[in-house]
Homo-oligomer: A and B are copies of this chain.
């Protein structure tokens, strides 16, 4: 077992078994997994190589096969539980080449050689990095294959976590706390946003005395001042000013497992309406967390939030949260369950979610979030960090 692989092989085998079970249900003989988070989940593969085309071919009767760029084959050998003979690669002239060569040509040849060229093949049509051209090249070269869209097949397997996964998410929670504490300690009038971002990274990656962190799938987001209504801004060299609201959204990450967290700060005393809004967010967040238990549905949890804030005359249209766990850029969400109207998924023990209520007005916004695990006794929040507005 390689030291770079974070779980015992038996854990990966269980994941593979459950994936194959879903493949049988879906009627696919082979599945080309291209989402980097799914590749990592099934094999351990972790390198930053998803900027070139790659994948893991999962079949019902052969060990998984990693297919990628020659330069990354050694990475596949040392960061996965796979045998070296199942690591196959294309040469560098396939990388970002003109139209005559595409990595999916090679992938198609592997699928064909393994005897799946004329069988049913699942692909992840809406996964990041599985481009329109990837699909066109693959299907052109496998005209006999019965290609099906199985975008979230592995994602659904990821929804319920093992105890070992939860343990890494707890470590990620420690890192999120360290990063958020750095934000609270650094953000001050006259400090450039970029200095605060650097301090947050130091907390997230330098970590605790016991361990450091991986890079999170999303950079720290920290809209401030006039821009707290633009939730996905990162930072600039602007200096914080007296009276600025600042929203910080970040995640600790350990072995690619995330614990996201958002808090809201104000530089100096908050305007009364901002504290009032924060109070509403905290009340709604707690009410929704209290509603979590095995057997309730995702939309029921959101409904409690919605009703709670409606008492204060506030409506919010975006979703309240989503499943989280393994992630690679650009997202730490799992893309399966959303806490929103219409999602009837029944919550079960050891599912994990990021519940991120936010209320934005024209001139300010408030976000306060928790990542939680469903236990038989209700929601267990993974991080332990004050929720109220931080006045700095």
Contacts and interface: CB of A to CB of B under 8 A. Distances in A.
B206 A234 contact: no
Nearest to A75: B230
Contacts of A135: 132, 135
Nearest to A249: B48
A141 to B, nearest CB: 15
A233 interface: yes
Contacts of A212: 192-195, 197-198, 235, 237
A333 interface: yes
A364 interface: no
A119 B125 CA distance: 26
A204 to B, nearest CB: 8
A146 interface: no
Interface in A1-51: 3-4, 46-51
Interface in A195-238: 195, 197-199, 201-202, 205-207, 211-215, 218-219, 221, 226-227, 229-238
A78 B215 CA distance: 28
A342 to B, nearest CB: 7
A234 B318 contact: no
Given A128-B129, A132-B135, A330-B329, A317 B91 contact: yes
B319 A95 contact: yes
A136 to B, nearest CB: 7
B132 A125 contact: yes
Contact of A78 (B74, B102, B230): B230
A134 interface: yes
A198 B127 CA distance: 30
A330 B50 contact: yes
Interface string A101-118: 010000000000000000
A165 B197 CA distance: 24
Nearest to A236: B4
B215 A219 contact: yes
Given A126-B133, A132-B132, A71 B330 contact: no
A324 interface: no
A341 to B, nearest CB: 8
A93 interface: yes
A240 to B, nearest CB: 13
A123 interface: yes
Contact of A232 (B75, B214, B238): B75
Contacts of A231: 71-72
A6 B369 CA distance: 32
A322 interface: yes
A340 interface: yes
Nearest to A254: B237
A84 interface: no
Contacts of A205: 194, 197-198, 201
B130 A125 contact: no
Interface of A: 3-4, 46-51, 70-72, 74-75, 78-79, 91-93, 95-96, 102, 123, 125-136, 149, 151, 192-195, 197-199, 201-202, 205-207, 211-215, 218-219, 221, 226-227, 229-238, 317-319, 322, 329-331, 333, 335, 338, 340, 342
Given A70-B318, A125-B131, A126-B134, 8 more contacts: A47-B232, A47-B234, A70-B317, A93-B342, A126-B132, A131-B131, A132-B134, A199-B206
11 contacts: A46-B233, A75-B232, A78-B226, A91-B317, A125-B133, A126-B134, A131-B132, A195-B206, A197-B215, A201-B201, A212-B237
